[in-house]
Chain A
Amino acid sequence: WGPAELLVCETLFSRAGGSRSRCPARSPCPSRFWGEGRAGDAARALTGSLAGSGDGAPSSSRVFVVRRDQDIYIQTLRKLFNESHGIFMGLQRSEEELAGKSRKAQLVQVSKNYRSVIRACMEDMHQAAVLTRDSALQGQYSTQVSILSAMELIWNLCEILFVEAATAGPLLLRLLDWVRLHVCDVDSMVREVLNSESPSKHKLFWNVVDVFVLQGRMDEARHLLSKEASANPTSVNMYKILDDLMKKMPVPSLGNTQTLTELELKWQHWHEECQRYLQDGTFASNPHMESICKILLGDEEAILEKKELMTTWYHFLVTRLLYSHPTVKPMELRFYAQSSMDLFLGGESSPEPLDMILMAAFEFEMHQVIKECSIVLSNWWFVAHLTDLLDHCKLLQSHNLYFGSNMREFLLLEYASGLFSHHSLWQLGVDYFDHCPEYGRAYLELHIERIPLSTEQKALKVLRICEQRQMHEQVRSICKIMAMKALRNNRLGSALSWSIRAKDAAFATLISDRFLKDYCERGCFSDLDLIDNLGPSMLLSDRLTFLGKYREFHRLYGEKRFLEAARLLLMLMTAHIAPCSFWMTLLTDALPLLEQKEVIFSAEQTYELMRCLEDLTAGNPDKQRFQDDDVETTKVEMLRLALARNLARVIVKEGTVEGS
């Protein structure tokens, strides 16, 4: 189980308030929990695979797997998450000092980057849908493609209205681009006509011309009309006039070549000219051309007749604006939008969620846009990134929710938490938490400890993240977990290396005790390569130091450097580096040294040894097993004897005058 998965077991009692579990797959119900605070958190987690009976009737027990965020497991979306993470980080790090135009240009570029990532993902998904043979999977991919396409549509509009904040004039041009890019139901028809041998004879010819006119693609329309004109000499006159009108149509320009008033004047002039031609009946003989002229005049009915070619109300809106109010100001959009939608839908169908979102955008209700998107989409990716971008544009006042953090942070936290339940995408989540000033760190601390550490490499990555953020608690706890695992697998060297990383003296003591225990049982050291090469890490814990020194004693003894060995042995006991339990072993190790032909221990040292022996045996007599254990008593006696003999010899030796 991942850290953010819940196991839900249905009981035999009917569920009180069972409405929560009715969420159909893939659409969360945060609308009810918007602003409800953290209590809604668990319920928000109930997205995805809840498919049980929601009516609360007692039924056979089922076990549900509930996942926080199902979308992150879609293979093809991983590119989206990874790439957008890169863009997000770039945005956070970008210079704040850039002001005014250059900053705006930078933000627009970021927005375009996000959009291109969405498009790339759409492409991949589309490819996958085409290549797969599994129809269920194909359906899933197609749905995803349409969702992504809708997301890009919304994002693009937000970019035009909010990020770029296009002003009257360029606004219309941007909206035209937007429509041309996104309404592509007619593309295949267009291609068909253009690729046919004589386009003007094609039955859909006029449809295509209409499409071009509706989308403001004057040059292409004129090009097609010229073919018609050459094929049909009788209407050459009409064609010339229409062509002329289309050529002269004033459009807003991106540069500062003309002011709005200039444009309006020109446009008024042109409009009147078109009016005149229409009223004169110039185009009366050709209904197609007449309708085109009406469209040029902005006649709503004429435009509405071409509903199927426009397919959406926002296309209708833009066409209307193009031919009746090309200098529309951003704040005026809402009125036109509302009326366009009403006219287009005409009461036959009710607006869909996408329509509502776009309407909210036209009304410049950013919060509404975000709220609606959150409701409709099954994943926090879109709203989190969009809100973050808008926040960087300084467009969102801190919309304080009940639990204190602002909306941007709330959404980023939700998105990142979703990422953490993934076995590999959690690394992206870390960076998101970093950029949530209020609660990010707390969230990160809780989440990072719960990542399953299947390999050492993963643990190292997690540790590095914790260390970089000074999360010492987490470092300690993770190192302890890894060290315990290593210890259980008998990898004492690994365990030691983990405790060194965490500077965990207690654990190092534990490991040393293990070594010493092994030694006592087997009589020799295991893992000599480790103990011999402890280096400065020996100082991490007293026990470890003792272990290293003890091994050194053995080495010295093996190399027959008895004097040094003796000195070391004594130091181990007198400096209290050795644990009391080990003193007996140490004294026993002293025996062969005492029994050597030449005297090794000096008088001082012998006295010390005797003192140690007395300290050891003078302990609590009840607890002492020495009295009952024959081996132990023999040992003590032998030691006493050896010590006494050594003392005798050394006194004689030291008393002897040299050279006499």
Chain B
Amino acid sequence: QDNRISIWSAGDLGNEGLNGEYHGEPRLLCDIQHNGDVMDMQFLDQERIVVASSTGTVTIFRHHQNNQTLSANHLWEKAHYHVDQDTSCGGAACTGVVCNNPEIVTVGEDGRINLFRADQKDAVRTIDNADSSTLHAVTFLRTTEILTVNSIGQLKIWDLRQQRNEPSQIFSLAGDRVPLHCVDRHPNQQHIVATGGQDGMLSIWDIRQGTMPVSLLNAHEAEMWEVHFHPSDPDHLFTCSEDGSLWHWDTSTNVSEKPSFLHQGGRSTAYLSHSTVNQSVVSAWLSNDPTKDRMEITNLIPNQTLSVNSLDVLGPCLVYGTDAEAIYVNRQLFA
């Protein structure tokens, strides 16, 4: 198997044509061999990337921008493993990684949670058997708390300050325990969490209240692989799925329903009366009234064939990759 980590340049800003449209094709800058499938990856900082492998290894790669090369900086082998030595070298796939420089949290098929620090050789903390099933994804809730989702449909909060190896809270879906594959937290409002399940259902949770999701949205026809809130514009949510579609969920349309003086003040609500503050600051994601708050959902892929495995969004740029071995870059998301 020949798997590689590659860095591409999706066109510099200087390449803008006269009408600012033509940006040129993404160019491959550098790549490096990777052992095993790449299950997840994230930038640790400007130069370093943490990659989770199907062999259970977690690697930090460094991108040297002066000579455009990649090199493996640090390796944690057997970060995830099964105890039974009969299976293939005992390695278990590491399914999710999340970074908050310098901390790195990984989860895997062995139900283990590892906490690493970028500069330390061994794991800072390991929670063995944190879950009896596979942990599919992890994300930071606060700097000391993480959220994990597993294959029996549970969302768990772990408090890393505490020494006990138990989750501080467990949420689960109401009906069938459909496995959850991805999780993301609202960038500004930390109690809003979105998860995607094996049946393509998008669930929005309010973790301040209740153990069940606030809303369940029937979305895709197959596993939802990734869900992302837009980091700077969180009224927008993106999901991609095995059925080959990528959906853009837009709740910003009910901006017009808010009173007009909010527009001028931006996010500052200091001068508004208490009641209006409550009404307007409640996120559209948590509102239960379907008639009042319309959500626009668009499929961004015109002719879908194979699965969209992964996506990422930053500013006006959307990147996604499919099983047809193609990467797509959309530079004008909100145009």
Contact = CB atoms under 8 A, between A and B. Distances in A.
B83 to A, nearest CB: 6
B110 interface: yes
Give the contact-size bracket for chain A. 35 or more
Interface string A391-434: 00000000000000000000000000000000110011001000
A75 interface: yes
Given A488-B84, A533-B154, A533-B172, A455 B109 contact: yes
A431 B82 CA distance: 35
Contacts of A460: 198, 223, 242
Interchain residue pairs A-B with the least CB separation, the first 8: A493-B133, A493-B132, A527-B132, A489-B82, A497-B151, A494-B133, A455-B93, A530-B132
A551 to B, nearest CB: 13
B304 to A, nearest CB: 10
Nearest to B307: A461
Contact of B152 (A427, A461, A496, A536): A496
B289 interface: no
A423 B323 CA distance: 12
Contacts of B245: none
Interface stretch (A78-86, A95-103, A179-187, A343-351): A78-86
Contacts of B127: none
A122 B2 CA distance: 22
A473 B313 CA distance: 40
19 contacts: A75-B2, A82-B325, A427-B306, A454-B37, A455-B93, A456-B93, A464-B242, A490-B83, A491-B82, A491-B110, A493-B111, A494-B109, A497-B177, A526-B132, A529-B131, A529-B154, A529-B170, A530-B132, A535-B172
A493 B152 contact: yes
A529 B132 contact: yes
A226 B150 CA distance: 78
A468 B303 CA distance: 19
B54 to A, nearest CB: 5
B239 interface: no
A534 interface: yes
B177 A533 contact: yes
B127 to A, nearest CB: 13
A229 interface: no
B106 to A, nearest CB: 15
A490 B222 CA distance: 28
Given A75-B2, A488-B84, 4 more contacts: A457-B93, A494-B134, A536-B176, A537-B177
Interface in B200-244: 222-223, 242
B87 A489 contact: yes
A455 B37 contact: yes
Interface residues of B, number: 48
Contact of A496 (B133, B307, B325): B133
Contacts of B172: 533, 535
B131 A493 contact: yes
B324 interface: yes
Interface string A56-96: 00000000000000000001001100110110011000000
A497 B179 contact: yes
Contacts of A535: 153, 172-177
A151 to B, nearest CB: 21
B302 to A, nearest CB: 11
Q: A424, A456, A485, A536: which has the most chain B beta carbons within 10 Å?
A: A456
B158 to A, nearest CB: 12
Interface string A475-509: 00000000001001111111011001000000000
B324 A85 contact: yes
B1 interface: yes
Contacts of A488: 84, 86-87
Contacts of B109: 455-456, 491, 494
Interface in B9-65: 37, 39, 54
Nearest to B136: A456
Contacts of A491: 82, 109-111, 132-134
Interface in B70-112: 82-84, 86-88, 92-93, 95, 109-111
Contact of B134 (A456, A464, A526): A456
B6 interface: no
Contacts of B187: none
A493 B151 contact: yes
Given A455-B37, A456-B93, A492 B132 contact: yes
Q: A83, A533, A537: which has the most chain B beta carbons within 10 Å?
A: A533
B321 interface: no
Q: A86, A89, A497: which has the most chain B beta carbons within 10 Å?
A: A497
A457 B39 contact: yes
A529 B153 CA distance: 11
A15 to B, nearest CB: 34
Contacts of B82: 489-491
B305 interface: yes
Contacts of A83: 324
Given A427-B306, A455-B109, A529-B132, A493 B150 contact: yes
Contact of B133 (A85, A464, A530): A530
Contacts of B93: 454-457
A497 B133 contact: yes
Contacts of B154: 529, 533
A464 B222 contact: yes
